[in-house]
Structure formats: structure tokens, C-alpha cells
Structure 1
Amino acid sequence: MQLMVSGAGLKTVAAAGVLAAAVGGAVIARADDSSGRAAQAEGGLALSTSTGSTGSTLKVDRVAQAGATDTLKVANNSKKALTVTVAARPWTQSASGVVSPNRRATLGGVSVSEPSFALAPGASKDVTVTLGSVPAAGYLYGALEVIGVPADIAKTKGIVTGYRLLDTLRYNAATATYGLKAGAAKLSGTGTSRALVLSVKNTGNTIAPVTGKVTLKSALGTKNGTLKATRILPGKSVSLALATASSLKAGKYTATVTLTQNKQKTTLTKKITVR
């Protein structure tokens, strides 16, 4: 729930220290998971909607419309004054499906009313998030990143505590379109993480989760399985795990995969050789 950062070198660029801590594996409080809820309950930086909801329900999720506004409350529940920065970030997504905000960029078309401010202990501030314009694609997906560091961080020596919260921003297309394009199926990874995966690209305009079923037939018999629900950003490709390599003996397989996104289904067949 906390970012532990060194005070050294922070007199000039405090945010760089926060980023270094995040990359180094510090535990980060998220407004949309259980650790984020625990962080807000125990004290520190907290994020809530204007209706008072927190935790996994905390997100902006609406049809994309120019001028749309949402108000979030940022509260300092710690015992120190905090310097807070708020920014809308675009998502990045790896082939494994993991998403993270791109801290080197801002989400085009989205503005925040208070990009930077100070919060005394126990104080709070409302921040308005505005979608100024709708992209030509008709949708926009990203995150609201809220970072709080002690106001006296430049004078502090040794280890200090900072906070980072993320809120989901989903500006959905007025008319949803669904499309999935399957690529190659292959063995990927090493050791115990080695698995049979199928590359799937989202050619639609939504991030509705993709689920599915898989049947693997070989001379040794038939194996059935299900695919873990995965959200794929429009235009991105993700490798969906069909089966662990350890569960497959060497040989030739016919994989029949049915992918489901909302009510749309795509069925495909792939020939695979496991060595």
C-alpha cells in the first residue's frame, strides 16, 4: 500500500523517486483492489467518488461524450501534509495481458481540475475529471493516477513514505462492436510457467472480457479446459493460456477454441505439435 522512497536526490525531482520505487517492486496501493482498500482504511491517501463509493466499485465508466465530467474526492488520512499530483494516463498492455498506466504520457482529451495541490492532514479536495473531446475511434480507456508524497520530502533524510492510487477511466463507444482475431498457437515461457498459448487480437472497440473454452484432441485422448477471463485493449494482442505445458505429452494436437466476448462467439481450430 505504500511507496518507500529514498530522500536522496528528491530535492529536484520528487516524482522520479516514486517511479524508481514502483519499478523496483514496491507494493503500490490501487484504488480498484483489496490492497488499495486496506491502504485507505489504515490511513494515507484515499480516493472516493462523489457518492462515497470506494474500492472495487471506484471507476469512471460511461459512454464517451465531449464535456462529460466526474468528480472524485482525494483525502489525506495520514499524519503528514502531502503534496498531491493527479494525472490521466493511457494504459499499456503486455502480451501476457498485464496492464499498467504509461507514466510518460497523458491521456489525450482528458483533463483534471487540480493537477497538483497540497493537502493538510485530515483534509480533502474534490477533483473533476473532464473528457474534453472524443477521439475519432469513439472510445478512450486509461487510468487516473494519484500520487501523494510528504510536503517536507526535500528536507527528509533516509526512507520516506509515499502513496499511489489508480482509478479506472472507461469512456465507452456509443455503439459497441466486437471482434477477435486469433493468431498463432504455440508453447511459450520457461520452466513451470511454460504454457500453450493462443495470440488473440481485439479488433473491436470495447474492453468487455474475453472468456472461452478449449478442447485438445490427440491420439492419447481429449482434454477440456476454460480460458481465464481477460480484458484486451482495442487493437492489442494478448496470449491466452490454453493449457500448461506440463499437462501435455509430446505429440500432435487439434485445438478447438471458442472465444466469447459479451454475446459474440468465435470458434477456431488450430493444429499444434508439442515436443
Structure 2
Amino acid sequence: MRIGLSTPVVFQLPGAYSEWERDAGIEDIAEIAQTADELGFDHLTCAEHVAIPAAAASQRGGVYWDPGVTLGYLAACTRRIRLATSVVVLGYHHPLTLAKRYGTLDVISGGRLVLGVGVGSLAEEFALLGAPFTDRGARADDALRALRAALSEREPAYTGDYYTFQGMVVEPHATQKKVPLWVGGRTFRSLRRACDLGDGWMPFGLSTKELGDLLARVEPPEGFEVVLSSGPLDPETDPEGARSRLRELREVGATAVTVSVVARSCAHYCDQLATLRTLAAQEEGSRE
């Protein structure tokens, strides 16, 4: 089971982020990304929201760094770790916009893109952007098919219910022959969409039991990724709790885990990552 990083600072959920993140900047994010890269973490993430209604910010958070710009910067600061959007809302973009923007990221990172995508649920944001809301699920399905046809092609062609294109050059485009597409969500429909049209499922806001119940209803294709979130871990103060949480997620079916850690500062965050990496290695060793 691989371990990735829910990048701090770039998304600040009320009640879940550490106080030091409030005033942190890109230098702190880069230091943490470089540490995770050197420690052998699998991926780091960045979410997407354009604008959050003020009335909803106390629940959803108001801080969302742009994933294209942020991951582009971190691509230059790292060498191996994969760069995952978690998630881009499909309905906000034409598939070729995503193919160009994130295909470029794949090029400049040397083929490290993981394109995490979602249907979206914030009606006010859809309305702000002039994006259709009521049929967003069907549009997302068509967009996923279009992305699969377009991401790694110089002259992509696709004909679907909502998107059709041909005779257009997209350059640069992704260097990977098949960019991993991870589908976010918290419903069985999102899991079904991931199995049918993607390469992995990255759910949120579900209990371990709920995850297990949903995963028991499908037979994922070979190589399918189940990317689960750990919630905040404190490997320094509660090492057994961190081990137990990783073990729990592996047992429910995770092929990869996206972790976050509690910390007092950027430096402490990096120390916590190192401690967690040691614990994870010990846990893996105990299973051999």
C-alpha cells in the first residue's frame, strides 16, 4: 500500500487544518513537497474550487489554491513524487482545456500527473461559472470518455453526447501513454463511474464501514486503485494510532492512502512525515 500526501496549506478545512497553515506560503509548501519526495511518498494533492459562497465557507473552507499553478510550481521543486488533482470538477472545463492544462503539467513534470476528477456538488459555483448543474453526472461521464481519448494525443478525436471534437491540435499533450484518472466522490455511483471510466476511486467523507460496504458491491478491473484518506495522523505522539489507521485502511481495500499529519509548524510537519514513513515501513515489515 503506497502512501501519498494531502498537501497542507493549499486546502484549509475548518476544524481540520493546523494554525500554522494560516500564514504559510509557497516556500513552506515546497519544503514539505520536497521532504515528501525525498522520503518516497507516492503522490501529493491539490483540490479545485474557483469561488466558495461566503455562507458556505465556514463548512467547506474558503482556501483553495489553484491546482494547475500550484502543482506546476511543485513539479519544479520535486523529482519523483506524483502530482494529483484531488479533484478537478469536470463540469467547469471543456475536456480539451483539461487536456492542454494538465497535459502541459505532465510534460513539465516528466510524466508525473494523476488527474483526479469529480462531478461537483456546489450549485452556486456551477451557476457562477455558467456550467449546467442538473445533468452534471451525465456530462461528467462524457467528459471522462473525452479525456481518455484526448489526454495523450496531439490531434484527438471524440464524438459523444455532450462533447465532440476532431481536427484540432493540442500541443503539448501528456507524455504518459495513459494518464491515471482517479474519480472522487462518496456514493456508489461515483465508485461505479470510477470502475467503468477511470483507473481509481478516491472517496471522501465516508466511514470505514461505509467504504467496505461500497467496495464489496463491485469487482474492480485489474490494476484499479482505491485511494483512501487517513484523516489527521500524529505519528510522533500516537504512533500506534497511526499504525492502526493505516492497517485499517489497508484491510478495507486501500491500494494507496492519502495522509495528513498534525503539526505545529512547517518544520514539525516535515518531521512528522519522516516519523510516519518509518512507522509505515515497520508496519509493512511486520506483514512480511
Structure (1/2) with the larger strand percentage? 1
TM-score between both structures, scaled by the size of structure 2: 0.25
In our comparison, the structure showing a higher alpha carbon Rg is: 1
Structure (1/2) with the larger helix percentage? 2
TM-score between both structures, scaled by the size of structure 1: 0.26
